[in-house]
């Protein structure tokens, strides 16, 4: 399948996971993490209202700009490594994210 992208995710225990996800279905990173049987809280269900799905971006990719809601939520949250923290629910999977490396942030585990 040519629309698959590859993402490297490090969980809260330091274990690395190589996941694949389609880039043509409108999914976000949080949904891809869940679809690959990894635990992530995402308490608000992807509405950028809780920061419990935040990830720390470990490599540079063509990330989309943050929305005002995402930036406000990250500013209000604590223990985040801004500017490398992002809300996984706000990162839509696109071909440009192929090879993205992230680690789950504190407080994201269930």
The 3-state secondary structure of 5-54, one letter per residue:
EEEEEECCCCCEEEEEEECCCCCEHHHHHHHCCCCCCCCCCCCCCCCCCE
Pair of tokens at residue 97: 């994210």
Which pLDDT does position 88 carry in this prediction? Answer: 95
Which pLDDT does position 71 carry in this prediction? Answer: 86
Domain count for the chain: 1
Mean pLDDT by groups of 10 residues along the chain of 110 residues: 90 95 96 94 89 90 88 77 85 96 78
| 95 in a structural domain | yes
For residue 99, the enclosing domain spans 4-104
Q: What is the DSSP letter of 92?
A: B
- Are the CB atoms for 73 and 87 separated by under 8 Å? yes
Which pLDDT does position 99 carry in this prediction? Answer: 96
Which pLDDT does position 61 carry in this prediction? Answer: 75
Pair of tokens at residue 75: 């500013």
| 109 in a structural domain | no
Which pLDDT does position 4 carry in this prediction? Answer: 96
| 59 in a structural domain | yes
CATH for 18: 3.10.20.30
């Amino acid at each position: 399948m040519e629309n698959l992208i590859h993402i490297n995710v490090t969980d809260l225990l330091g274990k690395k996971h190589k996941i694949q996800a389609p880039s043509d279905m409108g999914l976000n990173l949080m949904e891809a993490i869940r679809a690959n049987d990894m635990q992530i809280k995402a308490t608000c269900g992807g509405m950028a209202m809780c920061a419990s799905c935040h990830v720390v971006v470990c490599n540079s990719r063509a990330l989309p700009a943050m929305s005002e809601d995402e930036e406000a939520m990250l500013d209000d949250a604590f223990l985040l490594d801004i500017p490398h923290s992002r809300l996984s629910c706000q990162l839509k999977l696109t071909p440009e994210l192929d090879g993205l490396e992230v680690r789950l942030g504190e407080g994201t585990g269930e």
